[in-house]
Amino acid sequence: MSDTQATPEALTLDVRNMLCPMPVIKTGERVATLAPGDELSILATDPGTLHDVPAWCRVHGHTVLATTQEGRNITVRIRVEAP
């Protein structure tokens, strides 16, 4: 079966209990395996993630769709853009 058009995927990366710089490093590693249009939800507990991942996205041309924080739990949802 050959499908020439890939469907964007909604994926999750769990970096809870990891401290800076690991959430950004793991995000970069994961994004490198994804296709443009895929969405990635990053689950974290390091408060720096709220600033570091959006900054990383600006540098690398990806889009931040949402950031939320409930207690210690942080979620940053991004869309992978074409290089």
What is the set of active-site residues?
Answer: 20
Q: How far, in Å, CA of 77 to CA of 69, rounded? A: 12
- Please enumerate in sequence order all residues whose Cβ is within 8 A of that of 32, keeping only pairs 6 or more positions apart, or say none: none
- Please enumerate in sequence order all residues whose Cβ is within 8 A of that of 69, keeping only pairs 6 or more positions apart, or say none: 47, 50, 75
